[in-house]
Chain A
Amino acid sequence: MVTSYGPLLDALRGVRWPARRAVGAALPGAHRSRQRGTSGEFTEYRLYRQGDDPRQLDWKLLGRSDRAFVRLTDDRALVPTWLLIDASLSMAFPDLRSALPTAPPNKWQTASALAVGLGTVASASSDPVGALIASAEGTTRLVARTRRGTIGELARTLDTLRCGGAVELAPLLTMTPPTARVVVISDLLGDLDALVRTTAQRTAAGAIVECVHVVAAEELTLPSGAYLARDPEQMQVARVLEPRATTAYRERFDAFRADAARRWRSAGAGYTEVRTDAALPRVVRQIVSGQSRMDAHHAGGQGAESVR
């Protein structure tokens, strides 16, 4: 299964994932830090003020201009990237056992590929990559590391995991470091309210949160005919799916996705809707480039735009 990610990883070679804002204090890395330090990359001069370290004085400039300036440099820091992956039963839709070989991947496969792709891009930036995978069997935690093999371990873990049960992602979000970059990969059919609320708290604390909303193509285009639709996570929810009901369904589902996008962005997080039949390298590039945030800004931050 690991080899199935090969084309995706090849397509993402050379892609970097810069932090969208200055990060907090951390080990030296590739991202601009909010810390001013003594790195060799000069940024600007500032007049010496009482209390500044005299060692930061630019003595040559003082000798030429007889004025005391302090040499300022921006620190570069690492951004720990945590992948928060939803492995609930709803992510296993559609069931691959009854799907044709030519059918698009289901939501879990799409989420797994996105996690591997984003992890690869983050790892290429020398950022430590960790994962928290919520499933019916509990939370699978992969500690954030920068060493080689981290992505392979992530891929193997995702491949061996089976979706099941109904899970809550909000408690897992609180387990990530406050200033980390967190990518939530989910279909948002679980604890959306709690997750958005926690996201708002984390972003206020300096975290960078990205939401990748995975939507199955079969959820957007319902099958024809009459069915008794049941929610796999809540089997007591049974509704009649018939052709005349699809219009109202689509209206409600569109409204749900638009509301989710608006709420995520209002919470200071990025939001990207990904369809299962989308080209994943393009999706990853869009996420890491912050295109979804810019698109949302141009669109007024209201609607959900699906990436295909």
Chain B
Amino acid sequence: MIAFALPWLFALGVAASLGVVALHFLSVRQPPELLLPTARFLDEGQVRALSRSARPSDVLLLILRVLALLLVCAALAGPRWASGSRSTMRLVVADVAMRADSAALLSLVDFSGSGGAVRFVWSGASTDSGRVGAAATGMPRGIRIDLTAALPMALRAAASVATELPDVDSLSLYVVTPPPMQVNADSWRAWRATWPGAVHVRSMPTASRAGGTDSLPQSRAQLRFDTTGVDARVDDPVRAALAMRTADISQSITVQRADVERESIPPPGPAPDVTILWPVSGVPRGWRAVSDTSSALVANGVASVAAWPRSAMPTEGLLRDARAIAWWGDGLPAAIEVRKGASCVREVGVAVAASSDLLLDANATGFMTALLAPCGDMASGSGVLAERLDSGRGAAAYAARFRAEEASHLWSLPRWLTPVLLALALLVLLAEWLLRDREVART
């Protein structure tokens, strides 16, 4: 099967060929000859007469001319020969938590059309620049936190595909993600402009979302509880609710359920990515004590409507260096996040009674997801991103290279196809010239 980089040019050749065919139907032709000794008494005039017939004249010449025209136009239109159908690769950007069950992702990919190749790009893996040095590069983090992260990853993968697999004609991008923590609109628009095609966003399959801890990278993804000073005989509803959501954890999280006086003591072992300060009782430092209830707890776009006991409220000084990740029904922060370099500390002002099952409610998913998510802050805004796009460095350079390859890709595939087609056209024209010369000599 043959395709063209400039199909309009080949269509132009087809139209010109139709014109040639029409001319052969309307060709000027000589009437049949008659030997007449008294021909000298006829009028002198044009010995050719314009005639129209139901059958084209000089069929062989017509075939050669049309063939030459089509060959020239096909050669100049950037022909691309494919042994089969058009080759399209599906690029699936998914959260690394779904790596173990990648087969389930195939059900989200549309395989109608040509090609069946799929390449997975895992967001949140150790090689993902969205995690490693994210603060330094200004790249959006994993798609679990920011959907924008899928686009630079896709661009890098596309550049790689274009280099490694020249037979691939097009890429179809699928992003499979749980509901992201945030979508920075400016960042999304900037990166979206660099991806030339459509972006298919799919929700994570239920089965994969409920995947066990086996799918977690064991090196970093872990949930630890620092319960120093807490009565072990008392069932901790926070610990139970968090333990049920270990599947959502892609990093090391330490939950300190200690008293507020002990929160300054660093826990033993390596520094965690996320530290959650959720006192069993009392008020965290910088918070002010309150004692009432709120009708709802909103986080991550999900509202849990219930009589939530409220024990503390963050002060304004604390909010200057933090951002809210959960809100009460009246709009006041219920949990905040404070950046600590590459890690962050989340402080929660939600008092949960020992026998409460509010955290086990399905509507508390948003709140729990917001607590267990990686540090979702962007180290730099869209201004830094735009600067990098303009300079053509970093991830933007991949996009530029990808687009440059697409724009300059007017050569035939394989490269020798255009010269061969032109040579064939030359041969056909030569045959046409010889045949026409013979026809003229014969008449």
Partner of B41, one of A225, A233, A249: A249
CB distance from B236 to the nearest CB of A (A): 109
| Chain B residues with CB under 8 A of A225 | 31
Those of A227-250 within 8 Å (CB) of chain B: 227-234, 237-242, 245, 248-249
Docked-complex contact A223 and B34, CB < 8 angstroms: yes
Which chain B residue shows the least CB distance to A254? B41
Docked-complex contact A228 and B34, CB < 8 angstroms: yes
CB distance from A113 to the nearest CB of B (A): 19
Contacts A228-B31, A240-B49: A219 and B43 contacting too (C-beta < 8 A)? no
Docked-complex contact B34 and A227, CB < 8 angstroms: yes
Whether a CB of chain B sits under 8 angstroms from the CB of A282 is no
| Chain A residues with CB under 8 A of B39 | 229-231, 237-239, 241
Whether a CB of chain A sits under 8 angstroms from the CB of B233 is no
Whether a CB of chain A sits under 8 angstroms from the CB of B407 is no
Docked-complex contact A230 and B33, CB < 8 angstroms: yes
Cα distance A240–B40 when bound, in Å?
11
Cα distance A16–B346 when bound, in Å?
148
How many residues belonging to A are interface residues under a CB distance threshold of 8 Å? 32
Contacts A226-B49, A240-B47: A232 and B35 contacting too (C-beta < 8 A)? yes
Whether a CB of chain A sits under 8 angstroms from the CB of B391 is no
| Chain B residues with CB under 8 A of A222 | 36
Partner of A245, one of B30, B40, B43, B47: B43
Whether a CB of chain A sits under 8 angstroms from the CB of B38 is yes
Those of A242-285 within 8 Å (CB) of chain B: 242, 245, 248-249, 252-253, 256
Docked-complex contact B47 and A228, CB < 8 angstroms: yes
Whether a CB of chain B sits under 8 angstroms from the CB of A187 is yes
Docked-complex contact A189 and B37, CB < 8 angstroms: yes
Cα distance A16–B31 when bound, in Å?
50
| Chain B residues with CB under 8 A of A227 | 31-34, 36
Docked-complex contact B33 and A249, CB < 8 angstroms: no
Docked-complex contact A240 and B37, CB < 8 angstroms: no
Whether a CB of chain B sits under 8 angstroms from the CB of A90 is yes
Whether a CB of chain A sits under 8 angstroms from the CB of B441 is no
CB distance from A188 to the nearest CB of B (A): 10
Contacts A226-B31, A228-B30, A228-B47: A241 and B37 contacting too (C-beta < 8 A)? no
Docked-complex contact B43 and A233, CB < 8 angstroms: no
| Chain B residues with CB under 8 A of A228 | 30-34, 47
Interface of chain A, main secondary structure = mixed
CB distance from B278 to the nearest CB of A (A): 105
| Chain A residues with CB under 8 A of B42 | 229, 239-241, 245, 248-249
| Chain B residues with CB under 8 A of A48 | none
Docked-complex contact A241 and B34, CB < 8 angstroms: yes
Those of B12-69 within 8 Å (CB) of chain A: 30-47, 49
Cα distance A301–B149 when bound, in Å?
115
Docked-complex contact A239 and B35, CB < 8 angstroms: no
| Chain B residues with CB under 8 A of A248 | 42-43
Docked-complex contact B32 and A233, CB < 8 angstroms: no
| Chain B residues with CB under 8 A of A237 | 39-40
CB distance from B23 to the nearest CB of A (A): 21
Docked-complex contact B36 and A240, CB < 8 angstroms: no
Whether a CB of chain B sits under 8 angstroms from the CB of A95 is yes
| Chain B residues with CB under 8 A of A5 | none
| Chain B residues with CB under 8 A of A95 | 35
CB distance from B249 to the nearest CB of A (A): 94
Docked-complex contact B47 and A238, CB < 8 angstroms: yes
CB distance from A230 to the nearest CB of B (A): 6
Which chain A residue shows the least CB distance to B51? A226
Query: Which of B30, B31, B32, B44 has its CB near the most chain A CB atoms (within 10 A)?
Result: B31
| Chain A residues with CB under 8 A of B41 | 249, 252-253, 256
| Chain A residues with CB under 8 A of B38 | 189, 219, 249, 253
Docked-complex contact A231 and B36, CB < 8 angstroms: yes
CB distance from B352 to the nearest CB of A (A): 107
Which chain A residue shows the least CB distance to B41? A252
Cα distance A252–B42 when bound, in Å?
8
- Digit string of B333-349 for contact with A (CB within 8 Å is 1, else 0)? 00000000000000000
Docked-complex contact B35 and A93, CB < 8 angstroms: yes
- Digit string of B177-213 for contact with A (CB within 8 Å is 1, else 0)? 0000000000000000000000000000000000000
Cα distance A239–B38 when bound, in Å?
10
Contacts A219-B38, A229-B39, A231-B40: A240 and B45 contacting too (C-beta < 8 A)? yes
Which chain B residue shows the least CB distance to A218? B36
Query: Which of B31, B36, B44 has its CB near the most chain A CB atoms (within 10 A)?
Result: B36
Cα distance A252–B45 when bound, in Å?
16
Contacts A93-B37, A230-B36: A239 and B43 contacting too (C-beta < 8 A)? yes
Cα distance A241–B41 when bound, in Å?
10
Those of B226-280 within 8 Å (CB) of chain A: none
Query: Which of A189, A229, A256 has its CB near the most chain B CB atoms (within 10 A)?
Result: A229
Contacts A228-B30, A228-B31, A252-B41: A219 and B46 contacting too (C-beta < 8 A)? no
Cα distance A95–B34 when bound, in Å?
10
Cα distance A232–B44 when bound, in Å?
17
| Chain B residues with CB under 8 A of A245 | 42-43
| Chain A residues with CB under 8 A of B32 | 226-228
Contacts A239-B44, A249-B42: A230 and B31 contacting too (C-beta < 8 A)? no
Contacts A230-B39, A231-B39, A231-B40: A239 and B34 contacting too (C-beta < 8 A)? no
Docked-complex contact B37 and A90, CB < 8 angstroms: yes
Cα distance A230–B37 when bound, in Å?
7
| Chain B residues with CB under 8 A of A249 | 38, 41-43
CB distance from B41 to the nearest CB of A (A): 4
Which chain A residue shows the least CB distance to B30? A228
Chain A residues with a Cβ under 8 A of chain B: 89-90, 93, 95, 187, 189, 216, 219, 222-223, 225-234, 237-242, 245, 248-249, 252-253, 256
Given A232-B35, A239-B44: 10 more A-B contacts, CB < 8 Å? A227-B31, A227-B34, A228-B32, A228-B47, A229-B35, A230-B34, A240-B31, A241-B42, A248-B43, A249-B38
Which 9 interchain pairs have the tightest Cβ spacing? A90-B37, A239-B42, A227-B34, A229-B39, A252-B41, A229-B36, A226-B31, A231-B39, A232-B35
User: What are 19 A-B interface contacts by the 8 Å CB criterion?
Assistant: A90-B37, A187-B37, A226-B32, A226-B49, A227-B36, A228-B34, A229-B34, A230-B34, A230-B39, A231-B36, A232-B35, A238-B39, A238-B47, A240-B42, A240-B43, A240-B46, A245-B42, A249-B38, A253-B38
